[in-house]
Amino acid sequence: MKFDISYIIATRNRLTFLKITLEKLMQELQPDEEIVVVDGNSTDGSKKYLQTLFVEGKIHQFISEPDKNQAHAWNKAMLMARGTIIKKIIDDDVFCYKAIRECKNYMLLNPGVDVMISNDLWGSLYDHENIQKLTRLAQFEKWNTGLMLSFTFGDVHMLIRKSSLAYIGLYNTAYVMMDWEYSLRISYLKANIAYYTGYNALSVAHSQTVSSLKNNKLIEEQGKRGCVFYEYAGDSAEISLWSRVKIYTGKQLRPVKGTNISAKDGATEDINFIYNYYYNYISELNDLREFTILQRA
């Protein structure tokens, strides 16, 4: 069966966040859309939860097995996807499916577009009302006019045409910050990137994010290699700053006074309240005005 879009999720031992994100997605799902989940052999109940959803027909594809690393898991999911368009859904982030569908519909009407990105929002579980608006529009415009050979963007708001994988490839499994390298590669290859000026995703920071525990020395070494290989001039999102720009490092995250947020401690009521706040925020923000789509010159 063919779908217009595949929502792909790679997860491991993050049941509290997975339930919030996946159950919201299932509520929003339309008939021409599928959900693909790759579980890294979780031991926290995620596997049983996902297996139940699969048997009930609420998710379309599901596997649970050990992964080599995070990039390996996401690559499996991309290869499994049957949709014309692939949208990565990170299990602890927030997404606006109305905005995602605007991007999807544009890509379906414009088959030459390989990848679409958007503005991004950033928030923290420990200070949820302090939401920052992030944009890579200036970098996109410089790249689009030939002033930059490559630029970086987060994959939390990225949509990919599956047939374009033959040109842009999959994630580099040797890279720790895989989306940093992937964005440089996509832009350096002069893939046809379109830019949506709205917000289809909100990155949520907390001390248990996958990116909060990275080896900073290794990241910097890989960043230097990437800058040379992709002739990246550098800007505010160089790889040494990537986790701070995109998600923040766990060492920098501290609960503000009076908060008690911990998925491990079972404080799910607080987490659910915050995620509902985020979903309402991004939806209302996108409803405030019409946004535009800019395409590669």
Residue pLDDT, tens place only, 265-291: 445 568 999 999 999 999 999 999 889
Task: Please list the alpha-helical segments (H only) found in the chain.
Answer: 15-28, 46-55, 70-80, 97-109, 137-144, 165-168, 178-188, 216-229, 239-246, 268-287
Of 214, 282, 279, residue with least CA distance to 249: 214
- Tell whether the model's pLDDT for residue 145 goes beyond 50: yes
Of 145, 150, 164, residue with least CA distance to 107: 164
Of 57, 77, 55, 56, residue with least CA distance to 67: 77
CB atoms < 10 A from the CB of 180, how many?
Answer: 27
Question: What topology does CATH give the domain 1-91?
Answer: Spore Coat Polysaccharide Biosynthesis Protein SpsA; Chain A (3.90.550)
Output the pLDDT for position 211: 52
- Tell whether the model's pLDDT for residue 220 goes beyond 80: no
Size (the chain), residues: 297
Query: Residue for token digits 């490559």?
Result: 150
Q: Where are the domains of the chain?
A: 1-91, 94-153+163-297
User: How far apart (Å, rounded) are the C-alpha atoms in residues 61 and 24?
Assistant: 17
> Do 5 and 31 contact (CB within 8 A), yes or no?
no
Residues ≥6 apart with Cβ < 8 Å to 274: 125, 128, 261
Confidence band, pLDDT 50/70/90 cuts, at residue 227 = confident
Average pLDDT of the segment spanning 141-161: 95
Query: Residue for token digits 């046809």?
Result: 192
Confidence band, pLDDT 50/70/90 cuts, at residue 126 = confident
User: How far apart (Å, rounded) are the C-alpha atoms in residues 43 and 56?
Assistant: 21
Q: Which residues pair with 196 in a beta bridge?
A: 118, 293
Confidence band, pLDDT 50/70/90 cuts, at residue 296 = confident
> Do 286 and 98 contact (CB within 8 A), yes or no?
yes
Q: Which of 6-10, 124-128, 210-214, 253-257 has the lowest mean pLDDT?
A: 253-257
User: How far apart (Å, rounded) are the C-alpha atoms in residues 204 and 200?
Assistant: 13
CB atoms < 10 A from the CB of 260, how many?
Answer: 9
Do strands 61-64 and 94-95 pair parallel, antiparallel, or not at all (unpaired)?
Answer: unpaired
Average pLDDT of the segment spanning 23-36: 97
Average pLDDT of the segment spanning 160-186: 95
> Do 181 and 102 contact (CB within 8 A), yes or no?
no
3-state SS assignment for residue 124: strand
Return the axis-axis angle of helices 97-109 and 268-287, rounded to nearest 10°. Answer: 50
* DSSP, residue by residue, 198-250: EEEEEEEE-TT-GGGG--HHHHHHHHHHHHHHTT----TT-HHHHHHHHT--G
Q: Is the dihedral of CA 104, 106, 108, 114 positive or negative?
A: negative
